[in-house]
């Protein structure tokens, strides 16, 4: 079973890898960090993040959710809920 700390660290690692691969600076992560404005993910980056998270965590919460995700905290919460169910 994957715990909350593991989910959060996996998400942060995947975000860091995507940003580094794109040649961008990796910011300090906080729950209120906006994915687009603070972390600077564009739609392609976000798609890559989601694919990588599905591989690592074994879930795609966006298949069942239409919730709009704007912050890192919301993304972590969504994955925590999906992994728990």
pLDDT tens, residue by residue, 21-72: 999 999 999 999 999 999 999 999 999 999 999 999 999 998 887 789 999 9
pLDDT band at 76 (very low <50, low <70, confident <90, very high): very high
On whether the CB atoms of residues 67 and 78 are closer than 8 A, the answer is yes
Question: pTM for this structure?
Answer: 0.89
On whether the CB atoms of residues 2 and 63 are closer than 8 A, the answer is no
Query: 39 Cβ partners below 8 Å, 6+ apart?
Result: 15, 19, 27, 29, 33, 72
3-state secondary structure (DSSP) of residue 20: helix
Domains and CATH numbers, the chain: 4-84 (1.10.1200.10)
């Amino acid at each position: 079973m994957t715990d909350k700390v593991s989910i959060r660290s996996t998400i942060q690692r995947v975000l860091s890898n995507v940003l580094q691969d794109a040649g961008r600076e990796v910011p300090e992560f906080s729950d209120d960090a906006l994915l687009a404005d603070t972390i600077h993910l564009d739609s392609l980056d976000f798609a890559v993040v989601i694919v990588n998270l599905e591989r690592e965590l074994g879930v795609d919460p966006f298949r069942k959710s239409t919730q709009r995700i704007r912050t890192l905290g919301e993304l972590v919460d969504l994955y925590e809920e999906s992994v728990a169910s």
